[in-house]
């Protein structure tokens, strides 16, 4: 590890900013609207307090978690982040390799810089999941899923919070849209169905077709139901915040959800994931796997999520900043730091197996009004 690699999240963000073009950094860092959700994501964790216990032998700590039958080495997964070549030329190929070193699943985005096949080839043994932006075309949706199955992806994660792109004031001010610059299209341009729709192969032709198929504002539960029938892979729904939606997912035989507000990039003034979690857990208990993201920055954040009912968490911006600072080794640094923080947090709480974390280790801070 290089001596100067940042430990604190603020320093990580600052060094990434120093290395990236302002517009690119702005795109990665910013949130939707006035960034209320982005701010809430971090501050909401502070409403909770951990309650340690004494007496367990914490000389070693197990971080192993079982998720749909597979053991992962830590309750941390790498969130699907599109267009990672914006941060480092090796993009997803670097981050999937770093994730594999830590036994953490890597979620490849539909709008990745490298195609899902190239990412698989870069690190065939990594536990890889495929995140699906359900395209506005059934044949293309089917093709994406089949390609992911064939390339050895272990689960499909359907993101449901992208009916339209969030109103991102920073990007609008900077007039910056990686999408319109033609980034993140490898999964499309390498797809036989997408290719069959193209009028020609110029950048303009590809962009025009992309505009037609990317957003699906009429996405609904019937599509999820069809998808359930179309694949035997576990299906996760990412972007769930309402207990009713969670219950619906259970009814349709969905394997898991990601409680997420997309890192504050979509709906502004949105509930924080960590605040949505208790009601969701109370409604469905253990009927499906519950993952959570948006604002996870530290070991205590992870333990808070687990104590409130999550099975594991996803990291977004922190690993992308590591990637921007020094490619694969930067991602490894970030993963190592957060793993160390998590391990120490558990030791200091008197816990030697992460599976022991439950609601008895947490309490909500009382407010002056006593709520």
Ligand X SMILES: O=C(O)C(=O)c1ccccc1
Ligand Y SMILES: Cc1cc2nc3c(=O)[nH]c(=O)nc-3n(C[C@H](O)[C@H](O)[C@H](O)COP(=O)(O)O)c2cc1C
Residues that bind ligand Y (CB under 6 A): 28, 41, 79-82, 109, 111, 131, 159, 238, 260, 262-263, 265, 293-296, 315-317, 320
Task: Mention every residue, 6+ apart, whose C-beta is less than 8 A from residue 307.
Answer: 48, 50, 357, 358, 359, 361, 362
**Per-residue b/e over 189-203, b at no fewer than 16 CB within 10 Å?**
eebebbeebeeeeee
State yes or no: is 223 an active-site residue: no
Task: Mention every residue, 6+ apart, whose C-beta is less than 8 A from residue 58.
Answer: 346, 347, 350, 351, 352
Give min distance, CB of 239 to ligand Y, in A: 7
Decide which of ligand Y, ligand X, none touches 179; Cβ closer than 5 to 8 Å per partner kind.
ligand X
Q: What is the DSSP string of 214-259?
A: S--TT--HHHHHHHHHH--S-EEEEEE--HHHHHHHHHTT--EEEE
Contact status, residue 158 vs residue 227, Cβ threshold 8 Å: yes
Report 156-175 residues binding ligand X (CB under 6 A): 165
Give min distance, CB of 81 to ligand Y, in A: 4
Give min distance, CB of 111 to ligand X, in A: 4
Residue 62 or 223: which CB sits closer to ligand Y?
223
Residue 8 or 212: which CB sits closer to ligand X?
212
Query: Can you tell me the distance from the alpha carbon of 336 to that of 342, in angstroms, rounded to the nearest whole number?
Result: 10
Decide which of ligand Y, ligand X, none touches 294; Cβ closer than 5 to 8 Å per partner kind.
ligand Y
Q: Which two tokens stand for residue 60?
A: 């070693």
Instruction: Decide: is 82 part of the binding site for ligand X (CB under 6 A).
Output: yes
Give the residue among 304, 285, 310 at the shortest CA–CA distance from 362.
Answer: 304
Q: Does residue 238 have a known ligand-binding role? A: yes
Residue 68 or 180: which CB sits closer to ligand X?
180
Among residues 223, 242, 262, 359, the one annotated as catalytic is 262
Using the rule CB under 6 A, which residue among 111, 272, 313, 346 binds ligand X? Answer: 111
Instruction: Decide: is 144 part of the binding site for ligand X (CB under 6 A).
Output: no
Task: Mention every residue, 6+ apart, whose C-beta is less than 8 A from residue 344.
Answer: 299
Instruction: Decide: is 265 part of the binding site for ligand X (CB under 6 A).
Output: yes
Decide which of ligand Y, ligand X, none touches 165; Cβ closer than 5 to 8 Å per partner kind.
ligand X
Q: Does residue 363 have a known ligand-binding role? A: no
- With left for phi above 0 and alpha for psi between -120 and 50, is residue 323 left, alpha or beta? alpha
Contact status, residue 129 vs residue 154, Cβ threshold 8 Å: yes
The interface mask with ligand X, positions 12-51, x = CB under 6 A, is ----------------------------------------
Q: Does residue 260 have a known ligand-binding role? A: yes
Residue ranges binding ligand X (CB under 6 A): 82, 111, 165, 179, 262, 265
Task: Report, as residue numbers or ranges, the catalytic residues.
Answer: 262
């Amino acid at each position: 590890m290089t001596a100067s690699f940042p430990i604190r999240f603020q320093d990580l963000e600052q060094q990434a900013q120093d290395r990236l073009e302002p517009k690119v950094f702005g795109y990665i860092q910013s949130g939707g609207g006035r960034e209320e959700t982005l701010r809430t994501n971090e501050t909401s964790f502070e409403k909770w307090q951990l309650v340690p216990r004494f007496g367990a032998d914490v000389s070693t700590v197990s971080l192993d978690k079982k998720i749909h039958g597979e053991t992962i080495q830590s309750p941390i997964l790498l969130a699907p982040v599109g267009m990672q070549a914006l941060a480092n030329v090796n993009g997803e190929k670097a981050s999937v390799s770093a994730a594999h070193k830590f036994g953490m699943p890597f979620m490849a985005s539909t709008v990745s810089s490298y195609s899902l096949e190239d990412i698989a080839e870069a690190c065939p043994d990594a536990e890889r999941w495929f995140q699906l932006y359900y395209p506005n075309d059934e044949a293309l949706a089917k093709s994406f899923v089949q390609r992911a199955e064939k390339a050895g992806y272990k689960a499909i994660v359907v993101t449901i919070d992208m009916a339209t792109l969030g109103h991102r004031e920073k990007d609008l001010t900077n007039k910056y849209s990686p999408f319109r610059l033609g980034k993140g299209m490898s999964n499309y341009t390498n797809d036989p169905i997408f290719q069959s729709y193209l009028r020609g192969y110029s950048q303009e032709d590809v962009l025009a077709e992309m505009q037609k198929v990317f957003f699906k504002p009429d996405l609904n539960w019937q599509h999820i139901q069809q998808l359930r029938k179309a694949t035997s892979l576990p299906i996760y729904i990412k972007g769930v915040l309402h207990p009713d939606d969670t219950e619906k997912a259970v009814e349709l035989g969905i394997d898991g959800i990601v409680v997420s507000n997309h890192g504050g990039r979509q709906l502004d003034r949105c509930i924080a994931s960590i605040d949505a979690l208790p009601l969701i857990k109370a409604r469905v208990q253990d009927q499906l796997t519950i993952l959570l993201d948006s604002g996870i920055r530290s070991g205590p954040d992870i333990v808070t999520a687990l104590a409130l009912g999550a099975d594991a968490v996803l990291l977004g911006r922190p690993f992308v900043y590591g990637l921007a600072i020094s490619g694969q080794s930067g991602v490894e640094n970030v993963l190592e730091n957060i793993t160390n923080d998590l391990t120490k947090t558990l030791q200091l709480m008197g816990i030697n197996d992460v599976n022991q974390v439950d609601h008895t280790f947490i309490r909500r801070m009382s407010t002056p009004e006593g709520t």
